[in-house]
Each structure stands twice: as C-alpha cells, then as structure tokens.
Structure 1
C-alpha cells in the first residue's frame, strides 16, 4: 500500500502509542493470577488452552494479520497457538520464530539486567543516581506538572535506582507529557523509540540523539515532572537505566544484554536491529485507521532493519515468541534455564516483587491496583506472584511465580486499544485456568 495513503490521516503520538501497550498491559493483567491455594495445577498434565485458541482464531487473518500465543508451565516446552501470516495477504505463516516489535516488553529485560548488577554488588537498589551520573546531582522539578520548564523548585530527594526501575523518578515521557516539557524532549532529541520510516502526520518525533550518553546528559538538563519517589508516572526511566548499566558494567548497554541475558538464555532472535538475513521472519506492523489496517512498518522497509539512534532500553527490541518465552522460563527458574545460571535467585525474587516506595499509590495510573517491580507490573494480594508488561504494538507477556505459569501473546497493530487484545488475553487465560481447576 502506498505511503501517500497516510497524507490524509492524522495520528497523535499519545493515540498511536497509548493503551495496554507501550503504556503497559495495565489493568489487563489484574485478572491474573489465581493464587496457588486456589489453583492446584499438576505441571506434568497436558494443558488445553481452549479460550486462548478461540481468541487467536477470532483475530488472526481478519482483522489482524496474525496472532501467536505461547503458553507454558515451569520449565516445560511451550504450547504454541498460531494463526495468520506475517503480513495481510502474505504467504508465510506466523509462528514461534516470527519476529515482533515488542516495544515496552523491553522494559522487564532492562530491569532484570539492572537487578543482575545489584546482585553482583556493582549497583545499589537505593543508590542515588548521581553517584553514577553526576549530572543528576541537583535536579529541578516543575512547580506545575507539564507546566513551565523554567518555573521550578529543587528536588526534595535524590533519584535512586529503585525510582528508575519503578517509574517513580519523576521523569517524563514524550508520549505522555504535554506542553513545554514534551516540546523540549523533541527539540533536544530525547526520543527513546521508533515506529516507522514513513512520516506519519501528527507523529512528529524530531531527530533523536545518537548515543545513550547524549540522551542521559540531555535529560539531566531538563526539570523533572514530579518530585522523585512520590508519583508513579510512565517515563523514560528504563531508557536512562540503560546508560546506568553501561557505565556500571563498563560495556555498551546492547552488548551487556547480548552477553549476559540473550546468549545464556538461548535467545538467538532478539535484537535492537534485525539482521538482513532475518528480515524474512519479520512481521508487518499496521496502523488502525477507521477500522482499516494500513502498513506503517512493512518488513522489507522496516525501521528496525536500520541501526537505531541508540539502544532503547524502554522500547527498542524485536524478539520472537520462542525467545521471549525463554526469558520467562529463566524467571520461572529463578535465574536458571536448561541448567545455565543466568542471574541470581535473589535478584529474580526481588525484581519480580513490589519495589514501589511506600508513599506511592498507583490508583488512576496504568499500574492501577498493582505494584511495580523491575520494569514490570506485579500483582498484589490475590494477584500476588504475577509479573509482566505489554508492548505498544499488541504484545503482552507475564509469569505467575506461584503456579509456574508463562503466558505471552504476539500480534502487530497500533494503537493497541484499537482492538481489546490486551484485555481479552488475560481473561482467556483465566477462563482456561478455571476450566483446568474444575
């Protein structure tokens, strides 16, 4: 479909990237899990994911090009439910090794990388960020959130690593904020994400800086939106954490992930840039306009085949259902997969627990009714044990540490709330769990 078809279509950045996607799976995860006391699953039994399969059949092929669900127990191989093709009208079937833009499902990976460094004693959970990046020593805060960027007050307390992991550092996000702070992010190139090579009206994104160092340095010159440690606000904090990781580890952030997570986990199809040899596995991403799907990032002209401005720790990875399931398997193994120790057990336990500062309330936010761990939402009370997050183009993944469940869903469209995929998936999972329990 010709790119010029977008000339009469206006997207807003907030609209294109909103919902249970780049903004997280949000309340969609609230229905999980059923606690271990309420659900006694024999992990050796064969699971029947009838409702999940019905959902895949409902959406894949029409209206969406494809959908792949990966369901697993403990360390067992996943059951894959897949339908559709890599692109609408295409001939190549989607499956466990197809490639998807996972957007904010990058955040839990970045969060766990930080937990590894904390476990090794190279980083502290409550360590002030300024000890690693001195430019953050004397931060200012907008007197009015999203108001003037010159009418500021001093920060009451330092930003810590805990704050970065949990979106409580007071930082903003170009897809969330309004007014002068949003404009300043764009003008300074503080743009930690990408959608398309196509110039989409209403989605002006500016020219991003070309390194994590430049991103971190530029961000430090702007005021915070909120006082650190007081408010849950979706932000660029996991992208900034990428810079922290490379400073502390002494190696580039993308290299750190490849060496310390992807390789030992056996994640051979996860990259910030899709290699030319693998483009044939890449799905197409679609923009939903008036109920119609328009290709905003076709595989053969995908922006993900180009080197990104810098490795986006908050929303930059492309991965496969097989690879992301291996990441989830590693978490369920408390840091081990196939006999390989990837990260420490304590690091996993802490990273998948509620790390929010005590004064922070998530009511009315994308994490409403839940806690937050290392880059992902965590369940509280009857939902305890759940950890996961979603991506802006229709992906979502979670684990339940109590019952040993892994569940993930992959498709590609934006905005994520154009179809109720993020909400429908956990509902389908819970329905199947209930049937198994019965």
Structure 2
C-alpha cells in the first residue's frame, strides 16, 4: 500500500474521511443540504472541500465562494472590533456599561412577575463591558424560551427583524430587567449586539462601516457583509430548518431573504454573511496572533488575553450557566472575550488541546483554532438549529485523527 501524502504534518487520506463521512451520513440521506469544510495548519490550507447543494429547490451546487449566513460567528468579529478600541485606550474592561449608555444606569434584576409588570431588585454591582464580552451581563435571548424575561424579549421582538434600530434595541433593553446580577452567572444573550452598539458609540462610525475599514478591508475579506449585494446574490445559499425524521424544509429563500436588503439593526451578535474563504482569512489572522499578510487587526498580547478563560475562578460553563443553549458543548469549556475556550480536554469528551478557541452559528456553521497544533477548522452549512446533529464534535475527531507530527 502506498504511503499517504502528508501536508503540514497531516495525512490527506485521513482528511478525506471528512468528505466521506459527510456524504454518507448527512448529504446522501438528506439530513443536510450542503457542507463546506476547510482545514489549515501552519498557515496553509491543507484540505478543503465543498459538497451538496446551496439551493436544493433550484438544484444549485455549493461552491468554494458560496455565501452563508454565519449568524453567531459574527460575535468573534464584533469582539475583536471592540477590543481594537480597547487597545486605543477608549475604555477599560471594568468600566460600567452605563458610562457609555447612560439610560442603563438603573438596570434592575428580575425577581418575579411578567412583562410589563415586573418586580425587580437592584444588582449587586453595575454591569461592566467585560460582562458583555463574556455573556455574564444578565441579558438574554428571546429564543431561549426559558424565563419571563426572555418572553418579554419575544413579545418586543428584540432578536433582530422587527425594524428596530440598534439605538431602539438599547432603549428597549434599558427598561427590561436582567436575568441575574452581572458577573454572577453565564447566559448566552444579546450582549454581543450591545458590544456592536458600543463599537458605534466609541468609534463614531456605523458598525458596518467600522467592520469594513478595520477588519474586512485590511484582511482582504471581500465577501463579508450585513446585506448581500445584488451582484453577489447568485452565490447566496438557501437556509433550511430541521424537520422531524431527519429531514429539512426551506427556512429562508435567498431570492426573497431579508439579508438581501437593509433590515432591522446591524447585529454584531448574528448579522453577517460570509464565505468559507473569507472567514478563513479572519481565523488565520487570529491563529497568527492578530496579523495576516502584513495587516494587523489586533495585538498579540490583547488576543492572548481574549483567549484566557474569564469565568470566575477559572471554572467551566456547566458550573455557571443558567441556560441550556449555546454554540458550544459546555463540558470542559470556559469562556473568554468573545470565544469559547477549551479548558479540560478529558471532561469535554472530544479530542483537542487546552486553549482551543472558537464559536459557531445558528445555521450549523462553526470554527475552531487549536494554538497548540497551529490548526484551524472551519465548517459551513445552512441548517437551523445548529444542535440538530453533533457534526462539530465529529469534525474534531476526524481532523485530529489526521495529525501525524
């Protein structure tokens, strides 16, 4: 038997198992519409493949430049943008949020009742900017469907497409109670949208303009935006919804999608469209310590700080989380400033390295960076919710099995 080809210390025959696994277990049985996977190591793309249909109804194949809704994979970009302003001395992480959002000075914590008749109590301390970056703010998401507070989020349609502006979102949140006193627990939430608002306040630029000037153009990310331009619409994938019986139905038609026009507020928590190649450029800049092709978007020490576990007493998510949903398995993971951070490999029950960091999106997209192995993995598909299948953990097994040095 011939020796396997090795590139950047990875066995290509073993990486080919990824495509076989996705085809046999997800694409052929009709569980997923499409799958695009990229594996990079030591600064080079080692293996990349795009499979399936980006638009099942129109029988259009997914390509290397297909545009995907990355939803919460927007969050690390927003977090980097805010920390760029931190590097310029514009704020401190322990600054109270109300220093920059005066209407939030008297935020209260939920005690009982339903909207609009809440009974509240004062927080133990004010919310800080670090609380926003680490999801320890006490804010929530309407789709959590867990408490009377997130029921108010749903009633007020705060999760994105109600025509609300970013300023309007901040105003509505100023009148709602927090789930818990800031810093006392972890809850996946609209906090990163608030970080996007702070980018606007601190920079004096709309969020889309700031991203373009300070992240996308420096990194050569020409296909990442909040609104799909008309001349790129032919590359925009359809999005699907999981159905019982491991099938799916159309959730968002690319030709009538709200992503093709200005809609609601610019969501730093989940509003971006991107490609596999564009997001790789962002991830590679992070893997390089904040720089790609001579363009530095964040300082090395700042990024090292962001990749630390910022949960109290270096604990992991299960011990502080109030909700069951997030874009990462909880066990063995802490949380930094905008990323999940792997803290205990054995407890996570998936292969990896201490300090591995990354995040995912609602439609099944994900990325992670392993700084020990100098490894990047990015996966794109378009199936809501992201918890439909355990592909993220399976990818870790398949990719790490290909490491030979």
**Structure 1 residue aligned with 2:3:** none
**Structure 1 residue aligned with 2:308:** 353
* Residues 74-116 of structure 1 deviation map (CA, whole Å, 9 limit, x = unaligned): 3223521221222226454323211111111111111111111
**Structure 1 residue aligned with 2:144:** 176
Give secondary structure in 1 for the equivalent of 2:363: coil
The answer to whether the 8 A contact 2:143-2:154 is kept is: no
**Among candidates 356, 359, 363, match of residue 389 of structure 1:** 359
**Structure 2 residue aligned with 1:314:** 269
Alpha-carbon deviation of 1:401?
1.6
The answer to whether the 8 A contact 1:212-1:243 is kept is: yes
1:282-361 superposed matches below 5 A:
282-291=236-245, 292-358=247-313
**Among candidates 375, 389, 408, match of residue 338 of structure 2:** 375
More strand by share: 2
Q: 1:309 to 1:261 in 2, by over 3 A?
A: same
> What is the TM-score with the length of structure 2 in the denominator?
0.87
Q: 1:284 to 1:223 in 2, by over 3 A?
A: same
Is the aligned partner of 1:426 residue 2:389? no
* Residues 221-270 of structure 1 deviation map (CA, whole Å, 9 limit, x = unaligned): 11101110010111110011111111011111121111111111111101
1:214-253 superposed matches below 5 A:
214-253=168-207
The answer to whether the 8 A contact 2:133-2:191 is kept is: yes
Q: 1:62 to 1:156 in 2, by over 3 A?
A: same
Q: 1:115 to 1:222 in 2, by over 3 A?
A: same
1:64-83 superposed matches below 5 A:
64-77=32-45, 79-83=47-51
**Structure 2 residue aligned with 1:21:** none
* Residues 33-75 of structure 1 deviation map (CA, whole Å, 9 limit, x = unaligned): xxxxxxxxx9844542133222232323541221110110132
Q: 1:137 to 1:177 in 2, by over 3 A?
A: farther
Write the distance in 1 (CA, Å) between the matches of 2:219 and 2:300. Answer: 15
The answer to whether the 8 A contact 2:8-2:42 is kept is: no
Q: 1:175 to 1:149 in 2, by over 3 A?
A: farther
Write the distance in 2 (CA, Å) between the matches of 1:146 and 1:178. Answer: 13
Q: 1:89 to 1:147 in 2, by over 3 A?
A: closer
What is the RMSD computed on CA atoms of the aligned residues? 2.2
The answer to whether the 8 A contact 2:22-2:35 is kept is: yes
User: Which is further off, 45-54 or 305-314?
Assistant: 45-54
Write the distance in 1 (CA, Å) between the matches of 2:316 and 2:290. Answer: 30
Alpha-carbon deviation of 1:171?
0.8
Alpha-carbon deviation of 1:281?
0.7
Is the aligned partner of 1:57 residue 2:23? yes
In the alignment of these two chains, the number of paired residues is 380
1:134-153 superposed matches below 5 A:
134-143=102-111, 150-153=118-121
1:255-270 superposed matches below 5 A:
255-270=209-224
1:409-424 superposed matches below 5 A:
409-424=379-394
Give secondary structure in 2 for the equivalent of 1:184: helix
> What is the TM-score with the length of structure 1 in the denominator?
0.81
Structure with bigger RCO (C-alpha 8 Å, 6+ apart)? 1
**Structure 2 residue aligned with 1:254:** 208
The answer to whether the 8 A contact 1:371-1:380 is kept is: yes
**Structure 2 residue aligned with 1:17:** none
Write the distance in 2 (CA, Å) between the matches of 1:307 and 1:79. Answer: 35
